[in-house]
Each structure stands twice: as structure tokens, then as C-alpha cells.
Amino acid sequence: MNRSLTYNEINLDTKLINSGFCFNKAARQWFADYFGVEKFSFSKKMAVIKRKAEVERDEQATVGDLIQQMQNWDKNKIASPAEENTYQWNNFVRDFFKDPATKQFSQRLKVASLLWKKVRISQGKKVYCHNMLEKYNKEIEIYKE
């Protein structure tokens, strides 16, 4: 197909390849209306997704698929376990130090580390919660000033 689709020809079932769909003014307006925004800018993610469909000759890929993949983009990006652990630890320590109640400890980083070990082996989220100070009081009370 040589001509580009018009605004009225674009919908969630529009095929990404061999349909005339392209990232043009009509598509920009369609996405703006779809997402309920005044201005819409195409993203690198969108180009990568469309290009992948072209390379794989995925003639079933649709605009709806494009939107779904865009919205799941960050969820699908998998960090290495080491990166993820570092990220979680950094956030844990930051949140621990933000809690004014932790100022009672002489070795705050040591206490954070002890609590982190508890959190790391638990099934719960790997985040700091104020109630940990009470929950693990016996283990950390020796660090109180």
C-alpha cells in the first residue's frame, strides 16, 4: 500500500505493516485523542515496536498491540538481579535515613543493614517500613544512643 492512512482509517485493529499506517500527522492526532492529551509525541519505544513488527514480518501486529506493548515496556525490561538488588538496597537506605526515628541509633547504616537482611529474606516487598523498628527492636536496640 503506497498511501498513508487518514485519521478516520486508524483504529485499534489497524495493522502496523502493509496497511499504510505510519507515524504521521494523522496518527499523531489519533494517538492524542486516544490518550486524551492535547499534544502527542511519538516515542522511541513506538518506533522500536513498529520496527520489530516490520523485521519479523508480523502482519498480525496492530495499533492496539503497539499501545499494549508501549504500556508494558518498563515492566518487560528486566534488570539483572544484581542491578535490582542494588536499586532496592539504595531505596531502602534512603527511606531508612528519611525516617526521623532512626536518628536514635549510633550506627544508622549498620542498623539499616541488619533490617535489610531481614527484608531481603522475607517474602514481602523489599522496602523500609517504620514498623520494622518495633518488629526487630531486640536485634537493633544495642545501637541506640
Domains of the chain: which residue ranges?
Answer: 7-76, 81-143
Radius of gyration, alpha carbons of the chain: 25
pLDDT at 123: 86
Number of residues that make up the chain? 145
Q: Which DSSP state fits 4? A: P
pLDDT at 111: 95
CA-to-CA distance for 70 and 68, rounded, in angstroms? 5
CA-to-CA distance for 59 and 134, rounded, in angstroms? 58
pLDDT at 110: 94
Cα 23 → chain centroid: 24
pLDDT at 78: 47
Fill in the amino acid letter for 10: I
Convert the pLDDT of each residue in 8-42 to its tens digit: 999 999 999 999 999 999 999 999 999 889 999 99
Low-confidence ranges of the chain (pLDDT < 50): 78
CA-to-CA distance for 120 and 88, rounded, in angstroms? 9
pTM for this entry: 0.51
